[in-house]
Amino acid sequence: MKVIRAKTAGFCFGVKRAVDIVYEQLDKHKGKTIYTFGSIIHNEEVVKDLTKKGVIVVRTEEELSKITDGVVIIRSHGVKREIYELLEKAKGVILVDATCPDVRRIHRIVEQESEKETAIIIIGDIIHPEVQGILGWIKGQAMVIKTPEEARKVKLSEDKPVVIVAQTTFNYKKFKELVEILLEKRYDISVLNTICNATRKRQEEAFQIAEQSEAMIVIGDKHSSNTQKLFEICQQACKATYYIQTLADLDLNQLGSVETVGITAGASTPNNIIEEVQNNVRVIF
């Protein structure tokens, strides 16, 4: 009987950096109110702990515009340019940017490319905050697609170059599939695979483990886009894949008498939650 835990399970460097920044700011600015624009990560447990320590989550631009002092932290997903401008105008506000460097890189690419009148195609989920942030750095034509049907329907003027970028956590196989469809069109296309290294490695390892496992457990917040993609990837290789947020969601009886169980977790899943699941799965074997 074997339990295989993915080495890449849990916080990626961008999420770890963002969470560390919030705790550092709490220490550094005792007495000041610390705000995060949106939850710092998609993980209820971490957000609850920060709330206990006094961190306030600001949800809308309207709420943000009313803040006149304190520290405002931008989370790893990044934000559109107007948010920086808004916060820079509020003189009493200290702006702390925890945007993941891999996301900032995409902001710079699309900003520079769109200045040259290049059309930008983002392969990703339009409602995801990271994609909304990227859209906010594009000065000209832009579109977001995530399905083969949407890729087939893309219509752009043929006299302008096109740059394709990806949401950092997009499924690499799907990205390739969509790029192939787009390359069949007669555009001058440059493809920039901006799926981050952490995501690529995590997806590859999850697939390999799922292939060798009779049951696979994917741990992460239900709103976490990268965890949802991990779940899809694992399901392709292992039918008995379970998506859980914490140990409480796992019915250990479901695992029955399997020989090998694989465990992976999204980029915003804290280590203690992964360990708790791993230890309890071990107990039943």
Q: Does 205 bind ligand F3S (CB under 6 A)?
A: no
Q: How many residues bind ligand F3S (CB under 6 A)?
A: 15
Measured at CB, which residue is nearest to ligand F3S? 14
What is the Cα–Cα distance from 243 to 219, expressed in whole angstroms? 6
* Sole window of 8-16, 232-240, 243-251, 257-265 interacting with ligand F3S (rule: CB under 6 A): 8-16
Closest separation in Å from C-beta 111 to ligand F3S: 17
Per CB under 6 A, 269 contacts ligand F3S: no
Stretch 75-104 residues interacting with ligand F3S (CB under 6 A): 76, 100, 102-103
Single-letter code of the amino acid located at 72: V
Selected from 6, 9, 15, 164, the binder of ligand F3S by CB under 6 A is 15
The catalytic residues are: 130
Q: Write down the least CB distance from residue 11 to ligand F3S, Å.
A: 8
Residues in contact with ligand F3S by CB under 6 A are 12-15, 76, 100, 102-103, 168-169, 196, 198-199, 226, 267
